[in-house]
Structure 1
Amino acid sequence: MFLRLLTSAVTLVLCSTALGQTPLASPAVPPTISYVRDIQPILTEKCVACHACNDAACQLNLGSAEGATRGASKVPVYKGDRTTAIEPTRIFYDASGPDQWHRKGFYSVLDAQGSQAALMTRMLELGHSTPLTPNAKLPKEIVLGLNRNNVCPAPGEFDAYAKKHPKEGMPLAVTGLTDKQYQTVQAWLAQGAPVDQNAIKPSPVEAAQIAEWEALLNRPGSSEALVGRWLYEHLFLAHAYFDNGVPGHFFQWVRSRTPSGQPIDLIATRRPDDDPGTTFFYRLMPVQGVIVHKTHITYPMGKQKLARVKELFYSGNWRATSLPGYGPRSRANPFQTFEAIPAVARYQFMLDNAEYFVRTFIRGPVCRGQIATDVIRDSFWAMFQEPAHDRYITDAAYRGEATPLLAMPGQIDNVGSILTLWHNYRDKRNEYVKLRQETYADMPPPSWATLWAGNDNALLTIFRHFDSASVTKGLIGEVPQTMWLFDFPLLERTYYQLAVNFDVYGNVSHQAQTRLYFDLIRNGAEVNFLRLMPDDARASILSDWYQNSGKLKMWLDYQKIDTSTPTGMILDPVDPKRDFALKLIERAGTLNASPDPINRCTGAYCSRPNIAQEFQFAEQALSRLTSRPAAGLAVIKQLPEASMLRIEGSDGKREMYSMLRNRSHTNVAFMLGEAYRLQPGLDTLTIYPGVLSSYPNFMFNIPTGDVEAFVEAMEHSKTQASFDTIVERWGVRRSNPQFWQYFHDIGEYIHETNPVEAGVLDMNRYENL
């Protein structure tokens, strides 16, 4: 957060002074201030919500001592029009210590500059002198949001910054530090900002399991080395945790020059499938710093998981006779690179952990995903093809014919070659789709047995919020407009294109190729699903997904769909897609991890049965707002995409709900011009218990006794003035004196209900309603 202040940034600064309060006469500050004990907790509470990940203003990351001492940079991570890739600046990865980071262009925010105090000191002072009016809407001159221009003043540029942005010190547009916190941080800075370290180390129980996993991935032999590489490339984003591990301890796979038992000497490559350049070993490194929800993609690595990996990959009589290289060709086509490993093992491993893999490329750890998310709908369900019904798995001849067509673009980032590369890969993909159609036409018609039903990863719901997205097990919300069906070639390509090979530091050519190919991936998942529909209904369903300009895209870039091969599904011909969805819900049973009576109320009771009666009444009332188009519920047009409802019971207990605005589009087939394809009159709301976004846009705090009044006010609100009245009564504005208490209570709710997933949420997108 400190950078938010530090900058005029696109992110929101969260570190600050107490708004409207004057310094206490007597600062109760300990004479010896510890960074670990005294400073990091303040930064975690007030700053990390904006200053973490790639979208931290001026790259100031305040989730660790490493980030605080690294400082700030004027080079933005997100710059979609750059013609040349920039050097990666991943914390704990691409450099270590202030000197190395400063050689990469970062400058200190903690060090005094001659007679001038540290930059952080002055930013705090600027913010402390211009407090916000409690509970009021922010002044118009304070620009917020992702389109805010980053201004990253170096220490010598602060005076000019303060003159031009007098109300944009620390905090930027949010209630700030308490007086005691402010005095503690300022005293620490005045003492020279000494930093002590408290690095996470594995417990004995964790260390024993780490040793087993490292021994497995580093086994000698060509076959073992190939499996180790495949597993590493599929788990490098994971925050892994172990049976009986220490709560809050997570570990990340890296490549090291040193073997197990020695300190890790990390090899930092741009991509996990780049050439390491030397002998290396796969190692598990503790995740350091504060856990933030948006980068926290968890993966269990206990004894059962270890046994499953051995069963899938280390049994049978297959052998690799040689090892592939690490060049662009190997990166472009993992199907060729790993063809020696049985395809059924690869696919089954991904199915076992489908939620994790879909999270890596839909939610992702890059922290600003518009390059990918503007190609998907705001709400849809995802399913997976049963391996026994996946021709790529079962037919070696077909697999051999299909594999060369599954290469993906993005390895060559020559700006002048964008269109040529795109056309080449588009044509290969369409040739593959044609081959797939012809091959599957000879198979028995698809039925319910076509869908994988191995565990509760089998059914997933994706919600997209402009430039971020979430993935949740189960079927949430009203029946969506589109559904996706992944087979192995599609799931693996999506993962490699958007996770393994995507470079957030890349240039415009790389990012454009990635985005264009993801459009083909989405289309492939939709077409796979269409095969379940009656053959005479497919064209009309597809036409609904690609309205207006989407028709042009279908003609230009997509292979024609199969409208003649029958389905084995028996569905209502009037609306087969909806009938399929309702039957899917009915058949899913325990596979549906997210029963949803609020949004899909089918009787008199629209609430969960296992909660207190006052919350049942609240859910019953909230259900009136769901699954209604904005044409009949005008308030939807006033709402941001991801709001949180904190419903407080009479005994002080509370439930937390996500209220998501699902924007309707004529199509999502183009990289630019999304605003021209919106259909605001068809937008709807989904309200669901829990936290379905890492980036809350706003929050309402509503006593259970007020829920009926809140719902009625929402139902009758048709103007900005009437919506402002709702915000005034129940909204939690950034200027609310209790803002941080309410904001962090969202994270506390995650900690209580699913502690492994808990992390500090991001407030860069919190709006000024």
Structure 2
Amino acid sequence: MKYRIAFSLVMIGIFIACATKTLPPVVFNIPTRHIDYLNEVKPLLDKRCAVCHSCYNSPCQLKLDSFEGADRGATKRAVYNGSRLRSMDPTRLFTDAQSTGEWRQKEFFSVTDSKVSGELNDSIMIEILSHKIKNPKSVGEYRSEANDLTCSENTDELAGYLEKHPNNGMPFGFPALKPEEFAIIAGWLVQGAKGPDATRQKVLITPKASDAVAIKQWETFLNLDDAKHAMTTRYLYEHLFLAHIKFGTQTNEYYELFRSKTPPGEPADLVATVRPYDDPGVPRTYYRFRKIHSTIVEKTHMVFTLDDAKMRRIKELFIQPEWLQTPHTVGYDAKMSANPFVAFEQIPPRARYQFLLDNVNYIIMTFIHGPVCKGQIALNVLNDHFWVMFVDPDHDLSVANPAFMKLHSDKLRMPIEAGSDMRVFNALTDKYKKDAVEFYKARQDYYTTHNYAGLGYEFIWKGNTAADAPLLTVYRHFDSASVHRGILGNLPKTMWVVDYPLLERIYYALVAGFDVYGTAGHQLALRLYMDQLRVEGESYFLDFMPASRRQEFMQSSYKGIDLKKIDYYSSALPTKISFVTDEPNREFIEYIVNRHIMPATNIAFDAVNYERGDVAYPGLPDQYETTNEYLKAFRAISKPGTPFFLLMNDHNIK
């Protein structure tokens, strides 16, 4: 018996010795003055926290770009989960719950509440900030997508994590808060972490007078009752639901377009659906605007301007032309709504395509900056660097002959019609990808039949106005990407030519229909589908190349891969262009930029990085005193295969 007691005492001693130390409350003198959230706390959170805590992939879904986000707190439920077998309920701030109590029911916990009061505070926020001050060194690796972080729900969990990772206090991988910065946050926390009062909150969310006038004008237009306006507005909304809308005013404030159960002039009652084309569940919805009062961050900032010129253009494209059918409203059948070629078939495709081209920088940016855009989920279907151009509407056969798209509408179906709960097995059957391949081949054959002489430069859209973006550059960096108007960098290994059916499918598959809260199967299906859309875009560019070189160019982008496995289907068209060099791809793009694109767009080659076919790389300058000399040096070291350090010299080193 005494041996059992002794053994138990030893085990208890070991357990006590190994137990995680608790985090004591942080001692902080209560400030004698009020710490103001808007004037003191928010600017500091914007400066030190919002860059990470402001998007879908905010750690623990803790968003610190607004008081509502800080008050909502954090959750253990990850938005990006590549192994999710069932879709999760969406947790979009300002959309899927409207109060702190509602967020608590959705498994969010506070990071600002303290169980002790007075000069003591043990909130998660103050503990993890204080820990960084005590352990300021950055040791080891700090990755932006690190998967060994914590979403501690209480200080006991946080203590265990920090014991294992003593250098992982916040800000993660960055210097600790300065004493005066910590004093502001800690003071705010010990005073109860209050937000703006009702009066100041009303100012935050209320549009300025000039914007209010514009809002009334646009809400009147967007909510007109006739079928033509109703279907036009539905199409616009499905493409603008992610936009940060700027009116033609000088306020520099942004708004969101949303669906409401109540008409303009009444308090908004938001329709919260996963997708913009989902059934709203009410007989009539109204399109309304609400002011964005959270901090604007680059990774979600996709600006779309609604001004008088845009109103005239929308009327010119959608309202004035005769439609293909007598205008009528359509319902929200799940499969039909997920296929814009069916849902909006009554609207002339010329109007739809021209609207997308007018705003193509924004359209491409939505799938680069939208929720799909993260790491392995979708971005790695893109090359690191490529240029995009577009088929001119006057030469797009799907625009000229809408019956072609109607004939193949079943092949234009996308995985999004299956909703958010697709199984991985069903995704691997490639049903929708096979449909896309069949459409791609039919499209290639259709163009061959109608353009037997080949495709010329006139098939590339040159832009209509100085503000247009007939050429775009896309850069990808594993889990982030960017889109830029014009062409940047040197000649990429691949380029895309995009027509209307391809552009619309890219948008609906990766933006309107993508559910970041969906299953692994849903996301895998779209990943595979986008693989095929990429092949299409690359293939349509190669249709302008000499027929004898197309296979070679495609193979150079897919080294070691049998092109049959990616379903590459080369057009039977000859080239209409008489190339004179051995680099037809370079010759093609230089003609497009120098002689074809509308000059008023001011699109030109990258002065530093682009190597013209007839211009050699310069040598290093002898001195570095002017901007041009530095640019010359950058040009010299940008030559492929040039080792940077071997070209450095000490002309300017004192």
TM-score (norm 1): 0.74
Q: Secondary structure at the match of 2:387?
A: strand
2:269 to 249, 265, 272: 265
Q: Does the CA-based 8 Å contact 1:477-1:599 persist in structure 2?
A: yes
Deviations 1:7-28 (A, max 9, x none): xxxxxxxxxxxxxxxx9x999x
Following superposition, the deviation at residue 165 of structure 1 comes to 2.3
Counterpart CA distance in 2 for 1:712 and 1:491 is 50
Q: Secondary structure at the match of 1:555?
A: coil
Aligned residue for 1:504?
516
Aligned residue for 2:23?
none
Bigger Cα Rg: 2
Aligned residue for 2:319?
314
Q: Does the CA-based 8 Å contact 1:475-1:585 persist in structure 2?
A: no
Counterpart CA distance in 2 for 1:42 and 1:420 is 45
Q: Does the CA-based 8 Å contact 2:162-2:169 persist in structure 1?
A: yes
Deviations 1:337-359 (A, max 9, x none): 10000110000000001101011
Counterpart CA distance in 2 for 1:301 and 1:42 is 32
Q: Secondary structure at the match of 2:171?
A: coil
Aligned residue for 1:463?
475
Counterpart CA distance in 1 for 2:126 and 2:638 is 47
2:551 to 510, 515, 539: 539
Counterpart CA distance in 2 for 1:320 and 1:467 is 45
Q: Does the CA-based 8 Å contact 2:126-2:186 persist in structure 1?
A: yes
Give 1:600's aligned amino acid: Y
Unaligned runs of 5+ in 2: 1-25
Aligned residue for 1:513?
525
Aligned residue for 2:154?
155
Q: Secondary structure at the match of 2:259?
A: strand
Following superposition, the deviation at residue 404 of structure 1 comes to 2.7
Q: 1:59 to 1:711 in 2, by over 3 A?
A: farther
2:462 to 429, 439, 453: 453
Aligned residue for 1:328?
334
Following superposition, the deviation at residue 309 of structure 1 comes to 0.4
Q: 1:380 to 1:367 in 2, by over 3 A?
A: closer
Q: Does the CA-based 8 Å contact 2:277-2:338 persist in structure 1?
A: no
Deviations 1:221-271 (A, max 9, x none): 222211111110011111110112312x10111001111122221111111
Counterpart CA distance in 1 for 2:509 and 2:191 is 48
Q: 1:207 to 1:543 in 2, by over 3 A?
A: same
Counterpart CA distance in 1 for 2:109 and 2:508 is 35
Q: Does the CA-based 8 Å contact 2:85-2:423 persist in structure 1?
A: no
Q: Secondary structure at the match of 1:227?
A: helix
Report how many residues are paired.
Answer: 603
Aligned residue for 1:429?
436
Quote the RMSD (CA, aligned, Å): 2.7
Aligned residue for 1:118?
123
2:231 to 208, 226, 231: 226
2:609 to 599, 621, 627: 599
Following superposition, the deviation at residue 581 of structure 1 comes to 2.1
Q: 1:320 to 1:282 in 2, by over 3 A?
A: farther
Residues 43-82 of structure 1 aligned to structure 2 (within 5 Å): 43-82=45-84
Following superposition, the deviation at residue 604 of structure 1 comes to 8.8
Deviations 1:200-236 (A, max 9, x none): 3222211111112212221112222111111100111
Deviations 1:50-80 (A, max 9, x none): 1111111111110000000000101111111
* Identity of matched residues, %: 36
Deviations 1:135-171 (A, max 9, x none): xxx322x543424323111124232223222222223
Residues 182-581 of structure 1 aligned to structure 2 (within 5 Å): 182-196=182-196, 197=201, 199-247=204-252, 249-278=253-282, 279-318=284-323, 319-365=325-371, 368-412=374-418, 413=420, 415-416=422-423, 418-419=425-426, 422-444=429-451, 445-454=454-463, 455=465, 456-548=468-560, 550-551=561-562, 554-562=563-571, 564-572=572-580, 574-581=582-589
Q: Does the CA-based 8 Å contact 2:222-2:229 persist in structure 1?
A: yes
Greater RCO (CA < 8 Å, at least 6 residues apart)? 1
Q: Does the CA-based 8 Å contact 2:594-2:604 persist in structure 1?
A: no
Following superposition, the deviation at residue 85 of structure 1 comes to 0.8
Aligned residue for 2:87?
85
Q: Secondary structure at the match of 2:590?
A: helix
Q: Does the CA-based 8 Å contact 2:82-2:520 persist in structure 1?
A: yes
TM-score (norm 2): 0.87
Q: Secondary structure at the match of 1:284?
A: strand
Unaligned runs of 5+ in 1: 1-22, 133-137, 637-706, 714-769
Counterpart CA distance in 1 for 2:392 and 2:570 is 21
Q: Secondary structure at the match of 1:168?
A: coil
Counterpart CA distance in 2 for 1:275 and 1:200 is 28
Q: Does the CA-based 8 Å contact 1:409-1:421 persist in structure 2?
A: no
Following superposition, the deviation at residue 568 of structure 1 comes to 1.3
Deviates more, 1:516-525 or 1:564-573: 564-573
Deviates more, 1:371-380 or 1:418-427: 418-427
Q: Does the CA-based 8 Å contact 1:109-1:120 persist in structure 2?
A: yes
